[in-house]
Amino acid sequence: MHQVQLQRGTLTVSPLRSHADWQLHSLLDFAERINPKRAFLFVSRVLGKHIPVKPSQMQKSYQDLAALIPPAPQAPVTMIAMAETAVGLGAGIFREYQKHCASACLFATTTRHIQSELPIFGDFLEEHSHAQDQLIHSSHDAVKHQHLLNTKTLIVVDDEISTGKTIANLVSSLQAAGMQQIEQVISISLVDWTGDQDIQQIANIPNHSISLMSGHWAWQDALDPKAVHMPNVNITAQGQHAVIAPNTWGREPTYQLGQAWHSLQPRATGEKILVLGSCEFTWIPFLMAEALEQQGAEVYFSSTTRSPIAEGHAIQQRLEFRDNYGLNIPNFSYNVDASAYDRVILVIETGHESVDPALLQQIPNLEVVSYVA
């Protein structure tokens, strides 16, 4: 049992089972959300979101989770990763799973960034989130769309599962959109907090849970919890700055993940580099970071986010700026000490002009990499 004292209460976590290579201290830290609906946050040490992580360490988590997927699930198989936090995690697991999957598997992500050129398949709520509205796109490709409709095994990837309600909301939305042949759900997460109350069914469909650690948590409010004001980041829309990079990493369903569209090179042996993705756009930036690490640089990966978190505990630095999609909402970058790196590289799917000057001021050595056709 592990207790964390936060300003608004006490979080108690009790791990029950874990992968031989992963324990609580290697998987998680904790922080305080600026969110009246849920005061605490499980901060992953391997996700590459709020704490910079080496790409090779992230890759190991992808391999270990993919290895736990039961062999030969009933086809057609569709894997969906939850935005924004689990997009890269899902893509990494999908890349590994493809190496062993006997039949074609379709990969898609949920999104909060509507793409007007893509059909909307369904929408749902992540009720405890700072940005609860999400949707999932289909494709104008008839084969991909029909694959979605015919899905028999649905694999859902999230960074952590606390109650299973978000996945249930997603599955119900998919069923309402026409995905009515699902025979099995496989829920994958770094940490599953449903513990010994393992979720046997989701939306009346048999569920198989996979995680690197499972357990349960309990929250006790402080006697006089401090009120918090959460900034409005619950916007699901297409902003003033268009997405100019291809959506081939899952925002449009895909059988084959897109490749990095820019090749980064280390400038010196052992150069220390931080690569930043931008919100749910994380897979392509991760590939660039992975390639830099394979060339001998000391590389770490993280990402900007719209999630408001208080400083303290796992959050030692907090940068705030406006989003690069033109939605005029606050974005954040956590635990980024620019002076600790030779280079900090932000990879975005919008144009260079979309980057808030306030971010450039806070990270003087920031390089911005945008898509060029």
- Tens of pLDDT, residue by residue over 52-108, are 999 999 999 999 999 999 988 899 999 999 999 999 999 999 999 999 887 789 999
Instruction: Decide if pLDDT at 253 tops 90.
Output: yes
Q: Counting beta carbons within 10 angstroms of the beta carbon of residue 301, is it exposed (0 to 12), middle (13 to 18) or buried (19 or more)?
A: buried
* pTM for this prediction: 0.95
- Give the separation between CA 43 and CA 313, rounded to whole angstroms: 10
Identify the weakest region by mean pLDDT among 64-78, 119-133, 153-167, 269-283: 119-133
Contact criterion met (CB below 8 Å) for 24 and 297 = no
Q: How many residues does the chain have?
A: 373
Is the preceding peptide bond at 84 cis, omega within 30 degrees of 0? yes
Q: How many CB atoms lie within 10 A of CB 358?
A: 11
Has residue 210 got a pLDDT over 80?
A: yes
Closest by CA to 335, choosing from 305, 361, 291, 293, is: 305
Domain boundaries, the chain: 2-47+55-221, 272-369
DSSP designation for 70: P
Given a contact cutoff of 8 angstroms between Cβ atoms, the answer to whether 284 and 346 are in contact is no
Residue 260 exposed, middle or buried by CB count within 10 Å (0-12, 13-18, 19+): middle
127 band by pLDDT with thresholds 50, 70 and 90? very low
Q: How far apart (Å, rounded) are the C-alpha atoms in residues 152 and 174? A: 12
R_g of the chain computed on alpha carbons? 20
Rounded Cα gap, residues 106 and 98, in angstroms: 10
CATH class of 2-47+55-221: alpha beta
Rounded mean pLDDT, 162-185: 91
